[in-house]
Structures are given as C-alpha cells and as structure tokens.
Amino acid sequence: MDIKNNILETIGNTPLIKLNKITKDIPCTVLAKVEYFNPGNSIKDRMALKMVEMAEKDGKLKPGGTIIECTSGNTGMGLALTAVVKGYKCIFTTTDKQSKEKADILKALGAEVIVCPTNVEPEDPRSYYSVARRLEKEIPNSYLCNQYDNLANRLAHYETTGPEIWKQTNGKITHLVCTAGTGGTVTGVAMFLKEKNPDIQVWAIDVYGSLLTKYFRTGEVDMNEVHPYISEGFGEDFVPKNYDMSVIDYFEQVTDKAGAVMARRLAKEEGMFCGYSAGSCLQGLMQLKSKLKKEDIVVCIFHDHGSRYVAKIYNDQWMIERGFLDVKTFKDIISGRGMKKLVSVEAGQTVSEAVELMKKYDIEHIPVMNGNGTVGAISESGLFQKIFANPEIKNSKIESVIEPSYPIVDFDTPVEKLSSLINKENGAVLAKDEAGNFHIVTKYDVIQALGK
C-alpha cells in the first residue's frame, strides 16, 4: 500500500508545469515549479520542516517546546503543520500588511498570531522581528526559528527544490527565476544548480521599495531605497544571512501593480491560482524576455496559492481602490465601490420617506420598483423643485411625483456607453447582476471611474 505516515511526508516533489499562453511571445520554454502542491500550499513547508529538524538535532528544540517565528503566513503554515505532527506549540508574529486569511489559517491550526505594525524599523521594539526575539527570551523552552538568518532555510532548497528541478528538466535548465525575500529559496536552489552547471543564470525578482536590488548591485545597504510596498512574500528592508549574492546573476524589480495583475492573468489564462509573488516572478521574467534564446529552458518558482489573497489581489474592489485594475464596465464600477444592496422605493410610499432615504444613504437617485421590475424613478433635483413649489407634497404618494425609469443596460456595458446614457433627463442607469439583482450607477460614479 502507498501510504504516508503523516502530512509532513507529502512535502516536496511538486510538479513542473509548462506555461503556454502568457509566455507565447517568449521564444523559449518557460516552466513553473508550482509549490502550492505542498500540503501547506507553499514552498515554505520545505524550509519550515528543515528548521525544526535541525533545531531538534542541535538540541535547541525539546519535546513540549514552543516554536516562535516572525512570518507573513506561509512559513507559519509550514511550522504549524510540523508542530501539529511533532507536538509543539506555536506563536507567530506577523505584520498588518499581510492578508487576514493568512492569520486565520494559522489560528485554525492551533497557533497564536500576534499582529505588529509594518512601517517601523526592524530594530523598533514594535516590529514583528523584535517582538519575536522578546518572546523567545520570555518563554521557557522556546525556539525562534528566524527564517531570515537560519541557514537551514537555504539548506532545505539545496537538498530538495534544487535537485527536483535538475531531475525534472533532465539537467537542461538554463535559467532560474525566483522572487527574493528571505533569500532561502533563490540561494539554496541556485547553490545546487550552479554546482551542477555554473552557466545556469539565476535571476532574482525584487519589488520597488525593497533594498535588495541596490545591495546586490553596489554592496550598499541604503535605507533610502526602502519605502512601503503592497506586494507580499518578497522584498526586504534588510539583508538576511541566507543570501549568497555570488550565486545570483541578476536582480530585476517589479511594481506592486504589475505583480498583482500578472497573478490574475495566471489564474485566467493558465489555470494556475497562485499568490502575489508568482505574479511578480512571471512579470519579472516578462521584463527580461529579450535576454532569452530559443533553446533556453526557464524555470520560474511559484511560491504559494491564491487562496491566501482572495480578499486582496483577487478582489476587484481592492484592486480598483489601489488603481491596479482599469475600470472599463458597469460591473467594474460597482465592484470598485462594493456591491451594496440597491436602495429603492415603491410607488405607494410617501415622498417624505424617499427624502429620508436620500439623507440616510447620501444618494440623489432612487429607482421606483414594483416587484422585480422598475416603474419609474425619483431624483433629489426633481423632488426639490416640486417640494419648493408645494411643501405639502411631502405627504403625497411617490406615484404623484414619479419620473421616467432609468435606462437598463447589460452588466458588462462599457463606461463610455454609460456616460452617453446619463444626461440631464437620466441621472443614472441600472443593470442586473448574474443573480438577477439590480444595481445603479450615477453620473458621479462615472466621473469617479474615469478620473482614476
């Protein structure tokens, strides 16, 4: 029988999958080492297990002990799985930049999660690095893994990820492309591959706001390079000890927007539901495609799964709010503001009730509905004129002041078409979503969308 003794035995041996559509203009073969096939849905399972095993071997982690780590989520997941199987407790410090889903997953596995501020110096006592170090001192029989400086991190990839890639490509790999964070993956894999063939090119992908690229090029730790960025899982504001820059040939930086957009393309065009760093990794390769030749074999490492980013890069509203997603249709507009329930009235209600709704929700246009259909509309400007002429009309039924119905369009109607339909007579347009619910877009919504 082919049986695994525990979940940890399923770590590694992830597939190498050819990219076909996004990379069609690249002359060579591009392969993805898809690491979300690990049990914790990320490449970090490999080094998490290795760090614990090395700590046990060195006597730094004893039975019943507590594992402490500062993590954006994926390393924590690997450590939490390891702790469950091996019987340890876990405390993780993370930053407020990371997605809530990551912390929730760690808690589901029994870990304690402490959220710390992002925009503070690493030495600040509030940083997630400092809090982790303090906890190790305060808690008896605890061990701070420190994935940044713990060389078991890169050793895990030297022993597993690198050999897998070499074997899967029959030693024909010419380029490794990998995002740069703790340095463990890119350095460990590169060390192995360079031993096999020193001509293999290793390209590290960084994010604007990280100091790693300038450090690679100049050897200078320049804090002026550091500024807040949205990308998750890679980029650093210091240089972890896991790096050996001598095995890396080139650093390329990508923007927050480009990485997020490319991750969404991976899902829609390649069927790979990956995380932020995967999109950034492929984007970095696309920026460097002119350096590739027809006979090259490129391997991109896709670190984790898209489920960790559902509330962020895979959320239209989040993307639009940051200017990462172009607003093109009716659907885009309502996604950007949040798909709130439509405020409507019935013809039998009073004008004063409609006025109160306008005040409560700060809106100017309300459709008048009859069951599932629209029979008319009322507007703030129209009501103002009528109430000014006859104040007593507030007590009348809406049917006595009803205006023509707003035009109804398809949910995917382009913004340009919407702007032509909204005029002095029609202050808004309506559309039904896939579930049959009406939504409204006004002149103000269109102006806001076109202004981004």
Question: Which residues are catalytic, by number?
Answer: 44
Tracing tokens 């982790």 back to the chain, one arrives at 132
In whole angstroms, what is the distance from residue 308 CA to residue 102 CA?
6
141's tokens: 């029989």
Angle at alpha carbon of residue 172, lines to 169 and 173, rounded to 5°: 80
Residue from 171, 172, 451 nearest 326 by CA: 451
DSSP 389-429: H-GGGGGSBGGGT-BPPPPEE-TT-BHHHHHHH-SSS--EE
> Are residues 346 and 396 in contact, defined by beta-carbon separation less than 8 angstroms?
no
Residue 272 DSSP SS3? coil
The Cα–Cα gap between 186 and 154 comes to 8
CB atoms under 10 Å from CB of 436, counted, come to: 7
Spatial neighbors of 447 by CB under 8 A, at least 6 apart, are none
φ/ψ bin of 253: left (φ > 0), alpha (ψ from -120 to 50), beta (otherwise): beta
CA distance 285 to 201: 12
Q: Tell me the C-alpha distance between 205 and 62, whole Å.
A: 37
H/E run at residue 316: helix 316-321
User: For residues 306 and 74, is the Cβ–Cβ distance under 8 A?
Assistant: no
Distance CA 230, CA 98 (A): 9
Report the C-alpha gap between 272 and 171 in whole angstroms. 25
